[in-house]
A and B are shown apart, each in its own frame.
Chain A
Amino acid sequence: MPSLKSLKVRITSVKSTQKITRAMKTVAAAKLRRATDAAVAGRPYAERLEAVMASLASKVTVGPNSPKLLAGTGKDDVHLIVVATSERGLAGGFNTNIVRAAKVKADELIAQGKKVRFYLVGRKGRAFIRRTYPGMIVHDHDMSHVKNAAFANALDVGRDLIARFEAGEFDVCHLIFSKFQSALVQIPQVVQLIPAAISQPANDAAPAASAAVEYEPDEETILAELLPRNVAIQIYRAMLENQAGFYGAQMNAMDNATRNAGDMIKRLSIQYNRTRQAAITTELVEIISGAEAL
């Protein structure tokens, strides 16, 4: 049985851990609000861009002369997987889920006989991917100095990706990130980044209505202008969603940790009190039997 002193020390240490986890939870909750605000603020731009792209793409016929970002390289051999994770841990299964989704996708592609390469954004996926797929990481984008992802960061990644694409490093590019559903639910998602996957307008009325639209310069030029922007905006969205999801997951994980610490304190306190009482009882018994012996 542990001594009274060692129990007391353990209770104090668990209490201070609980203080830390509780503080982290509070901080994560505050940051979560800011991150969701940013994600919501970024939505109108992404939505409009997507609408415009869809209406343009329905007009432009994909041919050998159309932009490569839309039509692809015509091959399907080398796949680049962009894995966007968070910069820090202590967020439960958040990063594990993203990395696992990346692994599923990679294994599926490898099984089809494709070549797979990784491009990492965020620090937390590095160790696992380096271990599981040695030598397959082409680039590791360091974001550890960035506190809140700005569009400029996404632009950097986007430009780098496009440069690599144009250099013929890969044919297809997938982006993996965690979609922010709610503070409790984050769903890892795989999005095809290059060639652009454009959703066709659902109803036929939309293209008919915009048929009278004038284009300045022409459709192809606008589309060529828009496609790289679309890559950047998708990455930006992934960063924002990841950030919001990360804080959500962290808040959740820290809430659990605080509760576990509370349970542990309760259990240790009971044990401490029992031990104390046992010691007192033993002492009393000793005194009484000592007195009787006299």
Chain B
Amino acid sequence: MALHFELVTPEKLVRSEDVYMVVVPGTEGDFGVLQGHAPVMAVIRPGELTVYSNATTVTARIALDGGFAEVNEQGLTVLAESATIA
């Protein structure tokens, strides 16, 4: 039950790991991505992205300054202009 999650900024690959769930702040509302999510391309609003290692544990909160997210068979890729790990 692992989702492959990658967070990329223009300066570097910030994160590349297997997680349980990621909640992404989309322009049309937050959405959670689990393994096997349908392919989506979404624009991100400036906000907070949360990473879950299981259903109840939050492992990271990352502030994003806009960007966009892509879900495909390989997992979730977030392209952000800047990412600050809180």
A-side residues, CB < 8 A to B, are: 38, 41-42, 44-46, 48-49, 52, 56, 150-151, 154-155, 210, 212-217, 221-222, 225-226, 229, 232-233, 236
Contacts and interface: CB of A to CB of B under 8 A. Distances in A.
Given A48-B79, A225-B68, A151 B9 contact: yes
Provide the main secondary structure of the chain A interface.
Answer: helix
Contacts, number: 70
A151 B82 contact: yes
B43 A52 contact: no
Interface string B11-36: 11100000000000011100000000
Given A222-B43, A225-B68, A42 B11 contact: yes
A44 B81 contact: no
Contact of B8 (A38, A48, A213, A216): A48
Contacts of A56: 41
Contact of A150 (B11, B43, B77): B11
Provide the main secondary structure of the chain B interface.
Answer: strand
B66 to A, nearest CB: 8
A158 B72 CA distance: 29
B13 A44 contact: yes
Contacts of A212: 38-39
A229 B66 CA distance: 11
Nearest to B38: A214
Contacts of B9: 45, 151
Contact of B12 (A41, A214, A225): A41
